[in-house]
Amino acid sequence: MQYRYQNVCLEAIAYTLPDEVVTSAEIEARLAPLYQRLRLPEGRLELMSGISQRRFWPPGMAPSTKSVETAEKAIELAGIDRQRIGACIHGSVCRDFLEPATACLVHNGLGLPSDCAVYDLSNACLGLLSGAIQVANMIELGQIAAGLVVGTEDSRSLVESTIDTLNADCTLTRNDIKPAFASLTIGSGSAAIVLADRRLSRTGNRLLGGAVRAFTDQCHLCQGDSQRMGGDAQTLMQTDSEALLHEGIAAAEKTFAEFLDCMGWQTGQIGKTFCHQVGRAHRKLLLDALGLNPAIDFSTFETLGNTGSVALPITAAMGIEQGHVRPGERVAMLGIGSGINAVVLGVQWQ
């Protein structure tokens, strides 16, 4: 599916990071029983992923709390009257509870108008990008003047549950633990995106369109859920990392080709890229497969890990903040989510 926009601007991207830093070495220290039993070499987690650290929110923090904080930053950065915001979408995997929608708490916390579409959107690591497309569609149709997409991912439960499970099961072999490896690379963070009608925009950063493709025959490669462990519920995820890597790259190649056709761009005309953050091997294979120069890309996985749906927008926000994008450049945003789904969006930066 292709999207083309004439009236949509990417007005602001903001982020918030947790204060607590957890290194890969610290995670391996907590996995000492497993490492000693299986004679695993120390340092393999960072060596294999390229991730030296990730961050955790304080225990028990509600995602909506940080989503409100980050959304406030984005609204202030955009300089838009919040009464003009006609959609509030919460797009992260993590949310406060099953109902009501976490977006309701965010909407209330921000004091947004009542004539505002308010709902959660779930699409694994593509939640915020999928939300951005929906807001862009509403703006292009003239239904709203501006919209907000926000989300907060909390990795603490997944990482700690994975550590506990790996240490507790003494029957596990080296081969058995492979599906749990990806869970140890997950980090926490919060991001928010404000999109606006070009007539309201102060930046002129045009969201020109993009392409979306689904490859759901591979939906079994990464699956996460809460499981009952005694009297407690623990979050666990099983990932075929190698297969997911190659199938995700294949999905990205097809979606990127459709994106170039939709935009009428050539690969060499792309000035900068922001991609979903997984790890060193994923980044190298992705850029090689798409024929993109690593010098035009900006990465954060080294110090933030994989922060799920907020990974790409946090990376974009930090890259913009650090001057990675220059006026006049064409920017490609490449997202891949378990399922497998892929999204590529194009922005003309001003």
**Could you give the residue numbers annotated as active site?**
99, 125
Query: Which pair of tokens denotes residue 276?
Result: 């979903």
Query: Which pair of tokens denotes residue 135?
Result: 């807001």
Q: % helix / strand / coil in the chain, to the nearest 5?
A: 40, 25, 30
**Using an 8 Å Cβ cutoff, are 343 and 132 in contact?**
no
Rounded distance between C-alpha atoms, residue 81 and residue 306, angstroms: 33
Q: 261 — phi, psi (to 5°)?
A: -65, -45
Tell me which residue of 311, 100, 298 sits closest to 190, measured CA to CA: 311
Give the H/E segment covering residue 34.
helix 32-38
Tell me which residue of 138, 76, 78, 127 sits closest to 102, measured CA to CA: 127
Burial class, 94, CB count within 10 angstroms (exposed 0-12 / middle 13-18 / buried 19+): buried
